Amino acid sequence: MENTSTMEIKVGIMGYGNLGRGVECALKNAPDMRLAAVFTRRSPENMKILTPGVGVYRAEEAEGMTDALDVLILCGGSATDLPVQTPKYARLFNAVDSFDTHARIPAHFAAVDAAAREGGKTALISCGWDPGMFSVNRLYAGSVLPDGKDYTFWGKGVSQGHSDAIRRIDGVLNARQYTVPIESALEAARSGKNPSLTVREKHKRECFVVAEEGADRARIEREIKTMPNYFDEYDTIVHFITEEELKRDHGGIPHGGFVIRTGKTGKNGENSHVIEYSLKLDSNPEFTSSVLVACARAVHRLNAEGNVGCKTLFDVPPAYLSPLSAEVLRRTLL
């Protein structure tokens, strides 16, 4: 592949953690894109990236490199990084992020939209799987079956937030928490009977905990199970294991889930339908990165058409995510 073609979309990565490295890997499978720069808050001198010949820069240098990039992919976290970074850089670059704090999306959208319009740029926010591919599936399903009901289940997968919460308990050295959808609730959702499912009925929480030697395990287990917001509304299972077992059996970051919509059609709603979308992911950050890269392609095209401001996947024609031409897509995928 010719790496210097001016036709290729030049992509920058802001933040080189799990997500940033995933974007770098995903770009290798994008024939129409290439990695042009990586920005980091660490010391660029001490950082090695996977792609030969690509420069690593201090985050502050990005502002001076607007001509070197077509799209900047923001790979920070939703808690503190993205609320600042995406509005900041959306004024200077076409930008993509995976902002995933659902309740704060309207405020984030407004801030990014104002910045992008000011700079004549296009931004695409919340491009992961939830929000992201799950949201798109909720939208299609609800539009096709308006007389119906949605259910979203998450897991089986690692929740970083819940794992962190356990690690903050006195006497805990390390922990891994899995969110697990409950099979009977999945079946009830698919049944079309529109059941009302409580938080406890939909998911359970399974925790693998490494405790300090001599720590009071009964207390730790009690503190986990009664922790407000995180665990008290769920049935929670706690396993104590060694650090070696944790490393060996729980080193991955798998995740996934289900979006199910059931709905009725006909003269008197006599026919039922079930639409189900599911993901089973070995690596949560790498799948999110793969969505980000497809979205970078779309944002570049939207901006080339003069469609500026903040967008979400709801606003993007699906064809814009693909490197294939409209004619090839119609012939091979329709």
Residues in contact with a copy of itself by CB under 8 A are 22, 25-26, 29-30, 50, 102, 105-106, 109, 126, 131, 133, 135-140, 142-147, 190, 265-267, 271-283, 286-287, 289-291, 294, 312-319, 321-323, 326-327, 329-331, 333-334
Q: How far is the CB of 310 from a copy of itself (least distance, A)?
A: 10
Cβ proximity to a copy of itself, 21 vs 205, nearer residue: 21
Q: How far is the CB of 1 from a copy of itself (least distance, A)?
A: 14
Q: How far is the CB of 220 from a copy of itself (least distance, A)?
A: 32
Please give the structure tokens belonging to residue 101: 């704090």
Sheet with 157-158, strands from edge to edge, namely: 157-158, 172-181, 203-211, 235-240
Cβ proximity to a copy of itself, 120 vs 146, nearer residue: 146
Residue with tokens 């994008």: 30
d(CA 23, CA 294): 10
Q: How far is the CB of 180 from a copy of itself (least distance, A)?
A: 17
- Helix, strand, coil shares, percent, the chain, to 5: 40, 30, 35
Q: How far is the CB of 120 from a copy of itself (least distance, A)?
A: 20
User: For the CA atoms of the chain, what is the radius of gyration?
Assistant: 22
Nearest to 192 by CA among 141, 262, 265: 262
Please give the structure tokens belonging to residue 261: 């919509």
**ω before 131 within 30° of 0 (cis)?**
yes
Q: How far is the CB of 46 from a copy of itself (least distance, A)?
A: 20
Cβ proximity to a copy of itself, 2 vs 270, nearer residue: 270
Q: How far is the CB of 318 from a copy of itself (least distance, A)?
A: 5
Cβ proximity to a copy of itself, 76 vs 148, nearer residue: 148
Sequence-separated (6 or more) residues with CB below 8 Å from residue 333: none
Using DSSP, state whether 202 is helix, strand or coil: helix
Cβ proximity to a copy of itself, 67 vs 327, nearer residue: 327
Q: How far is the CB of 214 from a copy of itself (least distance, A)?
A: 38
d(CA 229, CA 29): 40
Report in angstroms the alpha-carbon separations of 257 from 33, 102, 154: 30, 16, 4
Cβ proximity to a copy of itself, 78 vs 236, nearer residue: 78
Cβ proximity to a copy of itself, 38 vs 291, nearer residue: 291
Spell 294-311 as b/e; 16+ CB within 10 A means b. Answer: bbbbbbbbbbeeeebbbb
Nearest to 309 by CA among 66, 98, 119: 119
Cβ proximity to a copy of itself, 64 vs 318, nearer residue: 318
Cβ proximity to a copy of itself, 110 vs 242, nearer residue: 110
d(CA 97, CA 95): 7
Q: How far is the CB of 273 from a copy of itself (least distance, A)?
A: 5
